[in-house]
Structure 1
Amino acid sequence: HGVNLRAQPPELAEAADPTAAFRSYFEDLRRGATRNTDLKLVLVGNGRVGKTTLKHCLVHGVPPPEPIRERTHGIDATTLGWPAGGEEFRVTIWDLAGQEIYHTMHRFLLHPRVVFLLLWAEETEETDPRELHPVSYWLDLIGQLGSGSVTILVKTQIDRGQKHGTRPPELVGVEDPVVAEAAVSAAQGRGIGALRETISEEIVRFRDRWGYLLPTSWLAVRAEVERLRDSGHRELPFAQFEQLCTVHDARHPRILADYLGQSGFLFYRPGHFGDRLILDQDWLLERIYAVFDPRSQIRQRILRAGGSLFADDTASVWPDHDPHERQVFLGFLTGAELAFHVEGSDPAEYVVPALLPEAPPPFRPGTGSDDLWLEVRFGTLHRALIERLIVRLSGMSPHRRWWRDGIDIEAPDRSWQASVEAWWERNALRVHIHPLRASPGGATTQRQVAASLLRLIRSTLPGAEPVIAGSLDGVVYIDLEKLEQARVAGNPRCVDRSGQVCDVAHFAALPTRAELERAGGENLIPEERPMTAEPQKLRIFVSYAHEDKELKKVLMKRLEGIARSHPIESWDDSKILAGTLVHEEILKGLNAADITLLLISPDFVTSDYCWTQEMEIALQQYEREGKLPVPIIVRRTPEWHEAKIGQHLALPKDGRWLTAWPSPDDFWGEVEEGLRDLIRDLMEKRGIPPKRY
């Protein structure tokens, strides 16, 4: 097409099918294009380094009238126009909380081709040594989570004195990805103008990284989605998003939704959030951050429960939200690998690794002569890595042996056990593999387990190249590459990790790194745990006239029977608690429903509320989102089918009312059979698995 591939949206390469994504992009590009001018400016650094004060200066042009003492908990984002190089960019400035408890979540806000302002100061008011990370820690985090980005190093709080220049001593003479440096006192407004000029220069200098072409149709859909968000819409069903794409001639809605999600414009992951797009990221993140906020009661509650959150408790955790919204929050926690659902738990249990107990379990894998230890060392070990590994390995820990810094696992056939835990003082993961029974292929199995775990670690933190050392006793470790070099050179001696000279022959049973990477056979560790929340359910709303209350009770009994074999959740106005607003609760139930059952009778037709409100909402939902309104003819109701609802298939299928059947059981049996068919069909379309007994 004569277009530079490197100047295209990088998110397309992250799509499930990159080839289809690029093909769709170029097809839509032919019909009109505009250069992207949206950009993220992300402020990162330790707590109390001055990010919030600097953001105020960049947004308002002046320091805040009073010193900002309150910590940022979570995120704070502001969008504004930013002139640079004769163009007007739309820049969203993100202030990310510096406390380590939030770092795991930040990876969902860090995307390729972002401008980072990495703040550091010689002195701050932070007193907790655990929160005083070196600048190299943040550079490593940016490199892992924001590849392709631009980093500007900003020294802050220069009014407190300056012993060093704009670079901290640890970076002097060290090669790093920093493209520019600045020094400011945001509290006094010093250096802000120069910093703005530096930011503008870098935006222009690296323009090709974000100034790619976007199809006009994509921009039109994005503008419409933004309008919906600004008017108060928090979510958008994918069916409605498809309609927007049709209106604006964007031919591949899944590709466009994937791009908008990957670029950070909204949250979208196929199969999550009930196949909806989350438009209001702040709304969702505020509820999620509340789980981790040290000040919140939610966090304290989960800590007291040993890191567990139960589905039955979510109504009190998020009291101002309906069941659908609470399911969205749980779906984000699991889909983002901030929590995992314990398979088979009833009530459903979710474990949050960041809030697990600090102490390891009392019973750990044993040791033996055939054991193998690995030290997987990084430049900086981030807590996010161990937490994600706990999530991904949780399905292999049947005895729930997980804690804040690690997890013990075992083979399904109990042929081996292993542990993976953080070794903070060495910036490493410590892996221990312990065979439980001898086998002719014992060494091969050890290497397969080790190779599988290393593949999992790499897939969890792509792009990282750790140094790997091995040990036969868990005490003396030797770098596997150095061991291989000594073997190839025929050297009888080598230096271990502690600097001591040792015999190469002592490590004869250790595999080399190359041997681990070449290890074939079955992958014994799943590289990604299925990121599912509580098993997805279809929600059914029952609309009826109160004169038909007894008939409604019979229907609810039938639905209870269906629920034993199908993942459904039924709702009617009897679920409304005393003291709540009836109309609002009914609207919540209707809006959350996938299927609305309408008990048609003369009283239903003459009820203004049933006929003109509940039924009308059900019909509108069908037109907008494809949700199913299902009329059930419980009493003879002449000419009901001439209304708009008459265009929909009724139950029983021949439209005969209850007393026209030989017996009530015949009538309700036919209704139940029809409902089961509808539910199975909808489950198949939504990809919802059958309920397990």
Structure 2
Amino acid sequence: MPTPLEIALERIEECRRTRSTELDLSCLGLDEIPEEVFELTWLEKLNVLEEWDTRDEYGEIKEIPLAIKKLKNLTEFNCATNQISDLSPLCGLPALQTLDCRYNQISRLTLNGLPALQFLFCTGNKISDLFPFSGLSTLQALDCGDNNICDLSPLSGLTTLQWLCFSHNHVSDLSPLSALFQLRLLDCSNTKISNLSPLSGLSALKSLDCSNNQINHLESIYNLVMSENLKYLKAYGNPVYGIPSWIFRNFWVADNLWDDDNCLENIRNYWQDLDKGSERQQQLKVQLVGNGRVGKTTLAYALEHKRTPSEQFKSTHGIVINEIQQTLDGEEKPVILQLWDFGGQEIYHTTHRLFLSDDCLYLLLWAEETEEHPDETRHPVSYWLELIHDLGNNSPVILVKNQIDRADRLPTRPAGLSDDMPGVQQIRQEVKISAMQYRGMPALRGAIESVLEELKQKICLELPTSWLQVQRELKQLDQKSIPLPHFKQLCIKAGISHAEWLANYLHKTGALFYSEGTFQDQIILDQNWAINAVYRVFDPNKPHRRRIERMGGRFIGEDASLLWADAEAKEQEVYVDFMRNCGICYETKQLQNLLDNKPFAEREFIIPALLPLISKAKTAWGNSRPDDWQLDIEYPFLHRSIIERMILRIGETYEGEPWRTGIFCETDEGQLLLECEYANKQQSTQGRLHFQLRSSQPERLVYALRKLVRQTSPHRRYQEYLSKAGAERTLLPEFKDEAMQHPSKLDASKPADKTIKLFISYSHADEAHKERLEKHLKAINRTLPLTAWSDRHLFAGEPVDEQIFQQLNTADIVLLLVSPDFINSDYCFTKEMERALERYQDEGNVVIPVIIRHTASWRNHKIGQIVALPKDGKPLAKWDDADEFWGSVEEGIRDQVKKRLQA
């Protein structure tokens, strides 16, 4: 096997032979740059980047030879992720435009004699002084994040700067940036900034990330935010006064831990409605969690009624929601506390995870003695603290020892809770009570009031009057659910133009339940009604659960009439839709059912929580074979929800055989068997996902599974090991999501959520036709998952070619809007179309010419060999009715979307 140097010398010789202007020696493991490189005096691009090991081990290159000065034509040099400390050998390179020296050992940048330098990336070094930057008058982009920088003053004169990132530094003052009027992108996240007013005059700004700082007010950038110029804003992680924390999250995207947080639309809608009138409101979600039969429902009653209940409550099945009021010093109005009482039985824990949230108060109940029940597991307090930490690590916890009338021998805090355990640092107060006897309740109320004081800035909110008007009218309706059009009418009446957005906001804050395009476009107002209906399936005292368990955790749509006999057929579909959207169940062959318009009554659903404990497939797998591979994901805290989501995602992607703790399936890459195992479930929550693979292409399946684990896990506190049967396990480095690497059905998204990407290539002279087309694409999106992209999505100042070709290279369908102007456009015809056709030849996409205007020569080119839309390539002008033309185009595109989904 050749050494890194031998590989490098081979590439150098190839470059010498072809006189290529680019030389890539990246990720070879070199310990120095070979001297032969500097004989290639015609080089324009040189790359010696090394791969960054997740154990913080960089490459071995420690210096840049002085001989690099021979490369007078060098325009790009990448030496990232090595151990270089001195860049002075680069001084005097007259053509150097781009320098990437990220993650090295540089404490001072020597940048003399670089008159052409435009792009500098020096993240992850030891730089503290930016003075050497002050003379870089041609600099357009600078990334100096993750250094030791405190002062931005040397940048004040860089008036050509368009792109600036200095995140993860010690900067507290943005004043030096106030005159950088060409700045398009700014990332000042994770610093010590508290004042954004210096940015108020930067009208060219397109993207701003000021997350995780000390900002209390955003009013100084009001005009910037409300202008149409700004396209991206990330501002979460700041103690902003008066604005609901959910405003700083992008709640249009799916519930995924790693989703983007562009809050621009949210803050615009908030301020737009706030300008019409506002009211101060004080509210907080309080969530009662703990084992079953520990007295959560009794405590909720005592808090609401301020007295002991007259009788004992039955064990809660599901979730119960109530509201109470709590006074707060200095405030005229009381705080509205929304109490969520969660059933403690283990079968509900996975589903509860969907409603447990951040930015709330947790009352964690435990007791020395409770009524014993054979079907219930008594989890330690540490189990619940870990769950809270994973799902709401910003939320305070009051530890409540209940039922002291039964036993009170132990301390309020259970033994074994150390400060380094997840969630322990979130405990603010510890109290002991007997909710049944109303003992200790004043102490608990005092503890709650103390936490409310701590959260005062989060719970005392300034909300638009129009939002509160809609919420009040919804309460007055006293209905379980309403159609979305009805909700829109209420919004119009209140002067709100973004009804779907408001519905999403109210959903995320827990006021109602809404998911766009589901529940037959119903908005669920009475969440107790929906939750209780769904949890009826799990009630051990009902025959429905036993029936589903006898069916192997499966039921069909027709069974809904038995599960909810008192509900109408449409309502029954809403319940199942609710379950599917919450991840309680999944539909087998969902995509095919969608394409075939299969009736609801005939569709099959699987509930992972009710699957059988054993499986014939697991037995049939047998012992390991020599070519088998094992992928182990080991968790210090393996929650049941992770297991069920893995079964759900794999099960709805492939036809397989699931059971309570695993699944077997045939994939495109081979056979897969997943088993979920605990070290000792009675004593620990430590466990692992054990994947066994029989595949001729294991790397593709391993990549897809690791990506799925990353998407599914609420934290990254796990380790991954890979081994071949009988061999020693290898600890894998942290997973890196490489776009388009090892694509599989599991990669990117579940089939039900798979979205077809469509790219529109067109001449700007045909803008009106493109806009009409987009209306029809939206119509397709009503029933099929489709997103469309055109160059109008670009931010000013972004690298045009890079962004366009990134979209083009990942598109499933490329539409070419053919017209004389399209043919005459060098960019459309020679760049976009040629790249699209290259991928088309490799079966990477579908290319569809759409003949919008008479174009005599289009059949003489390569696209003339492809079936065009509309039928026979008849242009719009030759149709009697424009609606018929666009309807024909829409149907043709819809057919291709269905084919791509099936593929």
The one of 28, 42, 45 equivalent to 2:287 is 42
Alpha carbons of 1:310 and 1:469: their partners in 2 closer, same or farther (altered >3 Å)? same
| 1:529 match | 750
1:373 touches 1:431 (CA, 8 Å); kept in 2? yes
| 1:309 match | 555
* Higher helix fraction (1 or 2): 1
Match of 1:407, SS state, is strand
Report whether the alignment pairs 1:89 with 2:310: no
| 2:528 match | 282
2:719 touches 2:731 (CA, 8 Å); kept in 1? no
Alpha carbons of 1:37 and 1:457: their partners in 2 closer, same or farther (altered >3 Å)? same
User: In 1, Cα distance between the equivalents of 2:279 and 2:393?
Assistant: 25
Report whether the alignment pairs 1:359 with 2:614: yes
Q: Which amino acid aligns with 1:2?
A: E
Q: Where do residues 344-383 of structure 1 align in structure 2 (5 Å cutoff)?
A: 344=592, 347-361=602-616, 362-364=619-621, 367-383=624-640
Report whether the alignment pairs 1:223 with 2:482: no
| 1:2 match | 219
2:653 touches 2:751 (CA, 8 Å); kept in 1? no
Report the Cα offset of residue 519 of structure 1: 6.5
| 2:881 match | none
The worse-fitting range, judged by mean Cα deviation, of 57-66 and 11-20 is: 11-20
Alpha carbons of 1:189 and 1:297: their partners in 2 closer, same or farther (altered >3 Å)? same
Q: Which amino acid aligns with 1:324?
A: K
| 1:179 match | 428
The one of 231, 242, 251 equivalent to 1:15 is 251
| 2:710 match | 458
User: In 2, Cα distance between the equivalents of 1:360 and 1:14?
Assistant: 41
Alpha carbons of 1:365 and 1:269: their partners in 2 closer, same or farther (altered >3 Å)? farther
2:677 touches 2:687 (CA, 8 Å); kept in 1? yes
2:703 touches 2:742 (CA, 8 Å); kept in 1? no
Q: Where do residues 631-646 of structure 1 align in structure 2 (5 Å cutoff)?
A: none
Report the Cα offset of residue 419 of structure 1: 2.3
TM-score, normalised by the number of residues in structure 2 = 0.52
| 1:246 match | 492
Report whether the alignment pairs 1:259 with 2:505: yes
2:707 touches 2:737 (CA, 8 Å); kept in 1? no
Report the Cα offset of residue 206 of structure 1: 1.4
Alpha carbons of 1:436 and 1:470: their partners in 2 closer, same or farther (altered >3 Å)? closer
Alpha carbons of 1:518 and 1:391: their partners in 2 closer, same or farther (altered >3 Å)? closer
Deviation string, structure 1 residues 417-451 (Cα, Å, up to 9, x no partner): 342534363722333242333xxxx5xx43x4333
Deviation string, structure 1 residues 468-499 (Cα, Å, up to 9, x no partner): 3444447xxxxxxxxxxxxxxxxxxxxxxxxx
2:303 touches 2:324 (CA, 8 Å); kept in 1? no
Deviation string, structure 1 residues 628-672 (Cα, Å, up to 9, x no partner): xxxxxxxxxxxxxxxxxxxxxxxxxxxxxxxxxxxxxxxxxxxxx
The one of 733, 747, 763 equivalent to 1:514 is 733
Unaligned runs of 5+ in 2: 1-217, 221-234, 253-261, 754-782, 784-883
Report whether the alignment pairs 1:208 with 2:457: yes
Alpha carbons of 1:56 and 1:472: their partners in 2 closer, same or farther (altered >3 Å)? same
User: In 1, Cα distance between the equivalents of 2:737 and 2:505?
Assistant: 35
2:720 touches 2:731 (CA, 8 Å); kept in 1? no
TM-score, normalised by the number of residues in structure 1 = 0.67
User: In 2, Cα distance between the equivalents of 1:303 and 1:192?
Assistant: 42
Report the Cα offset of residue 152 of structure 1: 0.6
| 2:646 match | 389
The one of 300, 317, 324 equivalent to 1:80 is 324
Report the Cα offset of residue 523 of structure 1: 4.0
2:652 touches 2:750 (CA, 8 Å); kept in 1? yes
| 1:55 match | 300
Q: Which amino acid aligns with 2:674?
A: S
Alpha carbons of 1:187 and 1:130: their partners in 2 closer, same or farther (altered >3 Å)? closer
User: In 1, Cα distance between the equivalents of 2:374 and 2:356?
Assistant: 26
User: In 1, Cα distance between the equivalents of 2:901 and 2:418?
Assistant: 60
Deviation string, structure 1 residues 374-398 (Cα, Å, up to 9, x no partner): 3323232221111111111113432
Match of 1:432, SS state, is strand
1:38 touches 1:91 (CA, 8 Å); kept in 2? yes
**Larger relative CO (CA 8 A, sep 6+): 1 or 2?**
1
1:140 touches 1:379 (CA, 8 Å); kept in 2? no
User: In 2, Cα distance between the equivalents of 1:271 and 1:352?
Assistant: 22
Alpha carbons of 1:517 and 1:407: their partners in 2 closer, same or farther (altered >3 Å)? same
| 1:429 match | 688
Q: Which amino acid aligns with 1:375?
A: D
Match of 1:332, SS state, is helix
Report the Cα offset of residue 515 of structure 1: 6.3
Report the Cα offset of residue 91 of structure 1: 1.2
| 1:406 match | 662
1:144 touches 1:463 (CA, 8 Å); kept in 2? yes
1:340 touches 1:352 (CA, 8 Å); kept in 2? yes
Report the Cα offset of residue 402 of structure 1: 0.5
Report the Cα offset of residue 161 of structure 1: 3.2
1:242 touches 1:253 (CA, 8 Å); kept in 2? yes
Q: Which amino acid aligns with 1:386?
A: I
What RMSD in Å do the two structures reach over aligned CA positions?
3.2
Task: Give the total of aligned pairs.
Answer: 502
Q: Where do residues 335-346 of structure 1 align in structure 2 (5 Å cutoff)?
A: 335-343=581-589, 344=592
Match of 1:388, SS state, is helix
Q: Where do residues 432-581 of structure 1 align in structure 2 (5 Å cutoff)?
A: 432-437=691-696, 442=697, 445-446=698-699, 448-473=700-725, 507=728, 511-514=730-733, 516-517=735-736, 521-524=741-744, 525-531=746-752
User: In 1, Cα distance between the equivalents of 2:467 and 2:307?
Assistant: 37
| 2:777 match | none
Match of 1:462, SS state, is coil
Match of 1:209, SS state, is helix
Report the Cα offset of residue 162 of structure 1: 2.8
Q: Which amino acid aligns with 2:640?
A: R
Report the Cα offset of residue 371 of structure 1: 3.2
Deviation string, structure 1 residues 57-94 (Cα, Å, up to 9, x no partner): 2112221223x152111122221221122330111222
User: In 2, Cα distance between the equivalents of 1:519 and 1:433?
Assistant: 23
Report the Cα offset of residue 282 of structure 1: 1.2
1:451 touches 1:519 (CA, 8 Å); kept in 2? no
The one of 564, 589, 593 equivalent to 1:318 is 564
User: In 1, Cα distance between the equivalents of 2:278 and 2:526?
Assistant: 26
Runs ≥4 residues deviating over 4 A: 172-175, 687-692
| 1:586 match | none
Alpha carbons of 1:132 and 1:515: their partners in 2 closer, same or farther (altered >3 Å)? closer
User: In 1, Cα distance between the equivalents of 2:722 and 2:709?
Assistant: 16
Identity of matched residues, %:
34
| 2:415 match | 169
The one of 271, 288, 308 equivalent to 2:517 is 271
Match of 1:298, SS state, is helix
User: In 2, Cα distance between the equivalents of 1:27 and 1:80?
Assistant: 31
User: In 2, Cα distance between the equivalents of 1:417 and 1:273?
Assistant: 33
Q: Which amino acid aligns with 2:688?
A: L
1:397 touches 1:407 (CA, 8 Å); kept in 2? no
Report the Cα offset of residue 26 of structure 1: 2.5
The one of 391, 400, 417 equivalent to 1:145 is 391
User: In 2, Cα distance between the equivalents of 1:528 and 1:515?
Assistant: 20
Deviation string, structure 1 residues 134-179 (Cα, Å, up to 9, x no partner): 1111111112233422211011122233332111012145451211
Report the Cα offset of residue 690 of structure 1: 13
